Structure 1
Amino acid sequence: MRRAVIALLLLAFVVPAADAQLPEFEPPNWDLGWEVEDEPAIMELDSSSNFNLVLKFWIDNSRPVPGEFEVEIETYDGFEVDDPGKVDVAANANETFEITITGSGMLDGVFHDASGAYFDVVKVTATLDVGDQVIDSKEIEKQIQFSSVFGFEIEFQSLIDGKGPEIKSGTSERVDVKISNSGNVDDAIQKVSMSFRGCPQMNYDSSDSGIEQGVTISDSKIGSIILSAPSNHQDRICKFLLTVTSEGNGLSYTNELEFNVDGHSDTKSDNSEEENEEPLPDNEPVGLEVEDNSLSANSSVMCVLIVTLAAVFRRK
């Protein structure tokens, strides 16, 4: 009897310890995940600003029976999505599926902004159905972003009939230029070049324009440039060329401004001669003496001529 009691006491101490060492029972389950975890997934834009993005996800069915899953995709409304719909996964199997998303990186001719961390998200919801009854549902999300596009557009403003202001020789005129970011992310000016075509005597001053190397342009920037014609410049049609190079893609963008130089001067000399001479005083003796001498000289000539003619006729 005593031995039986001791055995029971020993068994009471041993059984709880054995139960504590047994692993917890986990019922068969299923899971959902991305094939590639990196974010954001990049929508690579082609030359037409369109993209074709393929995302892969997997469903792991550790249940002892096959599973039927309904897959739904949510993302930006402007994209087209080709999803697998309803899929079957075998018992104790892991299968991979694809989502194809297509669309454009532009809206109404303007690029979607890609300067943020991501543009939108793709949400995948998988629902486990048994018959007509929903047993369980899981979802995953992935951030998506457009590939970066860089570029500039140059526009001269306040034009008249497509030309810049007329510049008179010896004067200066201001022209306004707008540089717009034509891409989808911030860009900076790597290099600026300004020159004239057909008018090498012209000069420019862009020191206060703000258009210079290293300037970042998110949307657009407007600057003023002073064009000056020297005083000896002739009449001519000139062109001013502005070139900026993108830091993002290394490409250069150019536009030109055509304008006229007026080489005629409208000023008159302050030392021009007077049209009428100043009259002499009425009693000026010099004038009278000149007049008398002139008459005496004429009379003498006439007398000589008469004497000569008389001598000729007498001989005859």
Structure 2
Amino acid sequence: MQYKNLGRSGLKVSQLSYGAWVSFGNQLDVKEAKSLLQCCKDNGVNFFDNAEVYANGRAEEIMGQAIRELGWKRSDIVVSTKIFWGGPGPNDKGLSRKHIVEGTKASLKRLDMDYVDVLYCHRPDTQTPIEETVRAMNYVIDKGWAFYWGTSEWSAQQITEAWGVAERLDLVGPIVEQPEYNLLTRHKVESEYLPLYTNYGLGLTTWSPLASGVLTGKYNKGNIPSDSRFALENFKNLANRSLIDDVLRKVNGLKPIADELGVPLAQLAIAWCAANPNVSSVITGATKESQIQENMKALDVIPLLTPAVMEKIETVFQSKPKRPDSYSTLQLLVVFGTLIIVERRLGR
């Protein structure tokens, strides 16, 4: 296993990590979770991701109990959770100071931990001033409930605004973003966020490297396996949106490339994500130890991704975002925001 710094921070996370979305609380109980978590750790994984909304909080309870029963040393692992959807009440969701503080305390209670290493704002909250959110996340850090904070599925403009507030108030800015990233979803990581890697040292912990299993090829015959996430009632709408002819044709086109390399489709798709130098960690999911073992082998595929192989993949998917010849309006906003921060630092 390789360990990479999370963005510009000193925190080191495993290049492949494990997330509790879908599985914990929906498909797996504590006993099964213990088996999977130990398998991950045995393969060098040190980063485990969760969220208050996963299985309505049950995923955090299962992960916390499993880690406690496994007897792991807390400092050996990196645990993250995400705040946004905490319940049905008007103040149980969003990124107000009230929900960030109360939601974080509730997550820590479910996890049975004194702190998480990384706390994410699970989505942007357009109803709450970014300054309120930045101040609240720093309050959480000052209390020792989290060491770092980040965002998930924020726009480059919103992340830039957060950093502008943090710099103006001499506070800690978001060090990491957690976007979806795979061969079918690439715009944010490869285009929109480009200025942020240099300007703020933004790290990425990306999710859904297999596009909810589509890139494994298991759905190509038109069948939905009974043990897959698309067989779950609350994922049927996602299945209808994902399993379209054009996508399945592209996955079929990837198969000969994987066969030529002598690797499964899943390993090729995960390796492709991990090969991006801006990605600190790729969050994987699994319901079986055998899946974890197979996923971990994706690290051995990365050296096989030569420019020629990458070009073959591009030819099949044709999904690479076009980089603008000149700065887009969004990029100009990011650059302008950075200039303002620099001027404030210089006291101009």
* TM-score grouping bracket, smaller chain normalisation: under 0.3
Task: Choose 1 or 2 for highest CA Rg.
Answer: 1
**TM-score normalised according to structure 1 size:** 0.20
In proportion to residue count, which structure has more helix? 2
Greater relative contact order (CA < 8 Å, ≥ 6 in sequence): 2
